[in-house]
């Protein structure tokens, strides 16, 4: 039961970064008051910076046992023989009003990363890539309510850690290998910035298999202007490209426009495509340690991935994040499809 509670709690936290814009307005106001830091960003001392030579400042490293090694029944971890790496940035798990950025070693947020995010999300890459996942001074969820009043500063602080971790990974672990960059929610935003500041326009792009910054809305025109050499992926085997989606269902009511956002369908691997239940090879349940075939369909509509129905009770215990908000399941509903696609892109890159 303790593990189950951490799984559910971690997925709640991971959802909040993007999911907050889809919830009921009254609930939003209550939540906003609850998570608001006690002092302004300027009045809050920044937590001590991480040291990425310290293994404890990584949620996943391929040379040790950790939660990113998780595989459900019938699926194998392939990290020992993987020809590529993945640099994975976890989503928001810090909700404490004690600060704008999580201190390194924060127990609650760290447990959510270890017991929910790593097995439910980062594990999707362990069939084809060695998994590197840094801990970082992530921005607290309130920052997205106050971008102009300290929120952007908190996000920029968090990004400095992600960039430092990426540079440490390149210097100490990569050894010239091909790599994938990936993340979810706040982590996807930081991956997006990595693409612009560290990869686009550099020789690193020649070694990037693909980017999977899932679960954060990204404008098509904005990406084309800021990272013109990293296109949106339009097939299952295209490489050096970017793909993302944001999952919704019936009753979803956006507070912000969704038209013009990137949606690459994880069932068809094409922009603005539609996939059937039969196309879904397996959703993941880390509670039952199983994959569930045909669990959901998916169609890209107005920049979002629309699911008509979820045909499994595996997620019934997850809390209601607002009608039609499936942000919690961006990776989980399509876990086996994503895993196989990673293998396909790696094979295409290595041809």
**Could you report the per-residue pLDDT of 76-105, keeping only the tens digit for each?**
999 999 999 999 999 999 999 999 999 999
Q: How much is the average pLDDT of 310-322? A: 84
Three-state DSSP class for residue 208: strand
124 sits in which H/E element: none
Candidate ranges 59-63, 313-317, 324-328; pick with highest mean pLDDT: 59-63
Pairwise pLDDT comparison (68 vs 142), residue with the higher score: 68
CA distances, 315 to each of 97, 128, 185, 283, 332 (Å): 29, 27, 19, 10, 10
Q: Is 17 a residue whose pLDDT tops 70? A: no
Q: How much is the average pLDDT of 329-340? A: 98
Pairwise pLDDT comparison (37 vs 26), residue with the higher score: 37
Q: Is 322 a residue whose pLDDT tops 80? A: no
Cβ–Cβ under 8 Å, residues 271 and 262:
yes
Q: How many domains does the chain have?
A: 1
Q: How much is the average pLDDT of 172-191? A: 98
Where does the pLDDT of residue 221 fall: very low under 50, low under 70, confident under 90, or very high at 90 and above? very high
Instruction: List, in order, residues 6 or more apart from 321 with CB less than 8 Å away.
Output: 12, 15, 19, 22, 23, 327, 328
Q: What is the pTM of this model?
A: 0.92
- Whole-number pLDDT of residue 249: 96
Pairwise pLDDT comparison (199 vs 8), residue with the higher score: 199
- Whole-number pLDDT of residue 32: 78
Q: Is 11 a residue whose pLDDT tops 90? A: no
Q: Is 25 a residue whose pLDDT tops 80? A: no
151 closest CA partner among 181, 184, 186: 186
Determine which of 149-158, 172-181, 190-199, 332-341 has the lowest per-residue pLDDT on average. Answer: 149-158
50 closest CA partner among 113, 111, 106: 106
- Whole-number pLDDT of residue 94: 93
Q: Where are the beta strands (DSSP E) in 186-245?
A: 208-214
- Whole-number pLDDT of residue 28: 66
- Whole-number pLDDT of residue 21: 43
pLDDT tens string 266-294: 999 999 889 999 999 999 999 999 999 99
CA separation for the pair 110, 104 (Å, rounded): 9
- Whole-number pLDDT of residue 158: 98
Pairwise pLDDT comparison (334 vs 36), residue with the higher score: 334
Query: DSSP label at 43?
Result: T
181 closest CA partner among 221, 217, 131: 131
CA separation for the pair 204, 63 (Å, rounded): 24
Domain residues for the domain of 214 are: 2-350
Q: How many residues does the chain have?
A: 351
């Amino acid at each position: 039961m303790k593990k189950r509670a951490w799984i559910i709690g971690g997925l709640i936290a991971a959802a909040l970064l993007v999911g907050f814009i889809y919830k009921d307005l009254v609930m939003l106001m209550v939540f906003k008051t609850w998570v608001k830091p006690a002092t302004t960003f300027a009045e809050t001392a920044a937590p001590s910076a991480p040291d990425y030579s310290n293994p404890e400042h990584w949620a996943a490293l391929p040379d040790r046992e950790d939660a990113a090694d998780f595989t459900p029944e019938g699926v194998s971890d392939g990290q020992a023989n993987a020809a590529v790496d993945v640099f994975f940035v976890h989503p928001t798990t810090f909700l404490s009003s004690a600060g704008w950025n999580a201190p390194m070693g924060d127990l609650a947020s760290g447990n959510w990363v270890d017991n929910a995010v790593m097995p439910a999300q980062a594990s999707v890459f362990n069939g084809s890539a060695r998994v590197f996942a840094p801990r970082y001074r992530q921005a607290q969820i309130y920052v997205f309510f106050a971008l102009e009043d300290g929120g952007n500063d908190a996000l920029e602080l968090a990004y400095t850690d992600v960039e430092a971790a990426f540079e440490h990974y390149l210097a100490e672990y990569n050894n010239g290998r091909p790599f994938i960059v990936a993340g979810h929610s706040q982590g996807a935003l930081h991956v997006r910035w990595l693409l612009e500041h560290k990869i686009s326009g550099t020789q690193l792009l020649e070694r990037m298999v693909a980017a999977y910054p899932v679960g954060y809305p990204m404008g098509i025109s904005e990406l084309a202007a800021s990272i013109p050499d990293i296109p949106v992926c339009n097939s299952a085997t295209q490489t050096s490209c970017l793909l993302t989606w944001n999952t919704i269902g019936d009753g979803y009511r956006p507070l912000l426009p969704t038209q013009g956002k990137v949606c690459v369908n994880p069932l068809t691997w094409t922009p603005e495509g539609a996939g059937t239940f039969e196309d879904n090879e397996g959703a993941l349940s880390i509670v039952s340690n199983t994959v569930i075939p045909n669990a959901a369909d998916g169609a890209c509509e107005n920049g979002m991935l629309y699911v008509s129905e979820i045909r499994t009770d595996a997620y019934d215990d997850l809390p209601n994040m607002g009608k039609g908000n499936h942000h919690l399941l961006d990776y989980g509903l399509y876990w086996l499809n994503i895993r196989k696609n990673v293998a396909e892109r790696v094979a295409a890159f290595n041809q």
